[in-house]
Amino acid sequence: MADDIVADYMVRDVETVSPEMTVKEVIDKMCNSNFHGFPITERGYLLGFVTAKELLRFANRPNATMREVMKRGTVCVIASMKLSDATRVLFRYGLRNLPVVDENKKLIGIISNIDIVRSQIEKSRPSKVISVKSFLESQNGLRIKIVNMDVPMKEVRPSQKDVYMDELIGRQYEIKRGLYEPLICIKRRGGYLIVDGHHRAMAAYQLGLESFKAIVLEPNDLDVTLGLERTAEKWGLHTLDDVNIIEGSKHPFIQVTTMLLPDESLGSLTKRLEDSQ
């Protein structure tokens, strides 16, 4: 995270409220969104930030405007700030969100604790990549270089025959929120063989994305047949259309993380993800 800056991970399409909106209008807007607060802007300039907790204080004044009740000013950051410094600000002040402004104090984005987590997840691949690289080189007598690139979805070949619908919905939600955790693929003459990330690949494919970020392992010899290729061939896997989607049971990850939830609560969570698509 040391070299990342706020601009790399901030959300640029920000929902805002105006100072002329009433307490009731902002409460209604918040209840119909996934957010816990909104920047208050006028002609693009950032005036303040209103949270759900602050709105509760004025619940008995539903017709009061934001201009009347809001606190002037708010903690904010600039796009060129190091992400590590923005993290400290969020941590020290116990904030969920930080508005991002330009040199004229106009709102240009927002960075949240979710974005900070996203930045770390997207960097969690290197050790796995090195492990796969070392295995392929030792087992097949290859030399492999690592390339970061966007791979075309139509050239991606799966090596896993099943994915789970519940996890697929979750991955689609993550992608729509901007979490592009890269695939790990091996370059072949006919495309890119997936090593890790089948749910992400299928989610992106179903969302209609033409390409997706990937860490690609490029062997010096593309004609060596790999074990994963033999597996894919045995299962008849050539494109993402060949992958089976399991709808009846939970993905093991979902099973563990929701084991204390009653079925109706789990259903509600899944519906929230589906409704956000």
**Helix or strand holding residue 24 (H, E):** helix 23-31
Domains of the chain (ranges; CATH) run: 6-114 (3.10.580.10), 121-259 (3.90.1530.10)
pLDDT band, residue 260 (cuts 50/70/90):
low
pLDDT band, residue 127 (cuts 50/70/90):
confident
DSSP category for residue 223 = T
Find out whether 143 and 219 touch, Cβ atoms under 8 Å. Answer: yes
> Which residues, 6 or more positions from 215, have their beta carbon under 8 angstroms from its beta carbon?
125, 129, 146, 147, 148, 182, 183, 184, 185
The C-alpha atoms of residue 22 and residue 19 are separated, in whole angstroms, by 8
DSSP letter for each residue of 149-188: EEEEGGGEE-S--EEEHHHHHHHHHHHHTT--PPEEEEEE
Query: Which comes out higher in pLDDT, residue 40 or 120?
Result: 40
Encode pLDDT of 195-231 as tens digits. Answer: 999 999 999 999 999 999 999 999 999 999 999 999 9
Encode pLDDT of 176-199 as tens digits. Answer: 878 788 999 999 998 999 999 999
Instruction: Enter the pTM of the model.
Output: 0.68
Among residues 171, 168, 172, 219, the alpha carbon closest in space to that of 195 is found at: 219
**Once rounded to an integer, what is the mean pLDDT over residues 103-129?**
84
The long-range contacts involving 88-91, CB below 8 angstroms and separated by at least 24 positions, are: 90/116
Q: Does residue 17 carry a pLDDT above 70?
A: yes
The long-range contacts involving 263-270, CB below 8 angstroms and separated by at least 24 positions, are: 270/166, 270/169
pLDDT band, residue 132 (cuts 50/70/90):
very high
> What is the pLDDT, as a whole number, of residue 117?
84
C-alpha separations of 122 from 39, 174, 176, 180, 204 in Å: 27, 12, 15, 7, 16
Q: Does residue 126 carry a pLDDT above 80?
A: no
> What is the pLDDT, as a whole number, of residue 128?
84
pLDDT band, residue 259 (cuts 50/70/90):
low
Q: Does residue 1 carry a pLDDT above 70?
A: no
DSSP category for residue 238 = S
**Once rounded to an integer, what is the mean pLDDT over residues 87-111?**
89
Encode pLDDT of 148-167 as tens digits. Answer: 999 999 999 999 999 999 88
> What is the pLDDT, as a whole number, of residue 85?
85
The C-alpha atoms of residue 74 and residue 50 are separated, in whole angstroms, by 9
As a whole-number percent, the residues of the chain with pLDDT over 70 amount to: 94
The C-alpha atoms of residue 85 and residue 82 are separated, in whole angstroms, by 5
> What is the pLDDT, as a whole number, of residue 43?
95
Query: Which comes out higher in pLDDT, residue 94 or 221?
Result: 221
